[in-house]
Structure 1
């Protein structure tokens, strides 16, 4: 490949489609302002470190969140599969009649009904091209059972069947394993110590 070809700009639409093949969860980052609680829907969220416990969220530079979030505590609310309306609300598409499920007891604005949440204090802000990358240190967190809302190929989606329930688990000769294998996996999962005691 010659130097001219190597420097050719990438087609943004094609790149977006390529990146969209990576399925993610959907979260709303919430924080407090002088005008009350605010939030923004994202799918650019990832764990960074366990020691210290750091997570990263990313916002385009032109957004309100990018302007306000730098020195503020925030919460990453991982949305449940039944919270599409909440995702749309905080993605700039107000949902008529929706009462935002703010937690009345949260120290930092937080949503109720999520499958997980992580309260963070600011750790660092990094340049990310046309985005800003916000690292937060997790100081409180919680999670519960339930399926998350997913995002894949530009669409919101719900979780499907667990892989071990599909005929993708095969024997060495290529034949699918018997259906009871998936049931045995599930029985093992629910009888693991502590599984039934989780909140």
Structure 2
């Protein structure tokens, strides 16, 4: 017998696209801009679907909408996952298709692949595999180099940019005999 569920009832159990998107938006995630060298110079796309896959080999996954121009540029191309800092909202917007006219993109060159300056982390990846995932393409990259720095990452939840809140302090673990 399963225990009864307690707490408030879910807002919706519908299956329409907007409500599903709202449901998925409850999961807060980091914001990254994936950069690569395109035919006409450095390019990038802001994503929130980025995750580690494996430590041996070192693999990460990015998910890019099929209709994005970046899909063609990322096929068989090395790329950098730039984990944006909390103060880099203009960069996130710029590479999400909302150009910021006054923005000077802080490009750096990482072994021939563009990356962004001032991020809290970056991972240089060479292409590993590409998979179809419905209306997205899933690009696996093998990490070739990486670095990280102190600072708050940029987060996205419920359709809004956010920064981390106070740390949740856990009570001490009970001592075992």
Equivalent residue of 2:146, what SS? Answer: strand
Report SS of the residue matched to 2:115. Answer: coil
Shift, 1:128, TM fit:
0.1
**Contact map agreement 2:108 2:117 (CA 8 A) in 1:** yes
Q: Cα RMSD (Å) of the superposition?
A: 1.8
2:50 aligns to what? Answer: 45
More strand by share: 2
Query: How far apart are the structure 1 equivalents of 2:93 and 2:15?
Result: 29
Q: Which residue is equivalent to 1:176?
A: none
Q: Residues 80 and 146 of structure 1 are in contact (CA less than 8 Å); yes or no, is this contact kept in structure 2? A: yes
Partner of 2:84: 79
1:35 aligns to what? Answer: 40
Unaligned stretches of 5+ in structure 1?
1-8, 173-199
Does the 8 Å CA contact 1:57/1:134 hold for their aligned counterparts? Answer: yes
Unpaired runs of 5+ residues, structure 2, are: 1-13
Q: Cα 1:153–1:169, aligned 2, differ >3 Å: closer, same or farther?
A: farther
Query: 1:61 pairs with 63, 66, 83, which one?
Result: 66
Q: How many residues align?
A: 161
Pairs within 5 Å for 1:103-142 = 103-104=108-109, 106-142=111-147
The Cα offsets for residues 173-197 of structure 1, whole Å up to 9 and x where unpaired, read as: xxxxxxxxxxxxxxxxxxxxxxxxx
Match of 1:24 in 2: 29
Please give the alpha-carbon distance, in whole angstroms, between the structure 1 residues aligned to 2:60 and 2:72.
19
Q: TM-score, normalised by structure 2?
A: 0.86
TM-score calculated relative to the size of structure 1:
0.77
Instruction: Return the alpha-carbon distance in structure 2 between the equivalents of residues 72 and 151 of structure 1.
Output: 27
CA contact (8 A) 1:122 1:137 kept: yes
Structure (1 or 2) with the larger CA radius of gyration: 1
Structure with larger RCO (C-alpha < 8 A, sep 6+): 2
* Structure 2 residue aligned with 1:95: 100
How many angstroms apart in 2 are the aligned matches of 1:89 and 1:162?
30
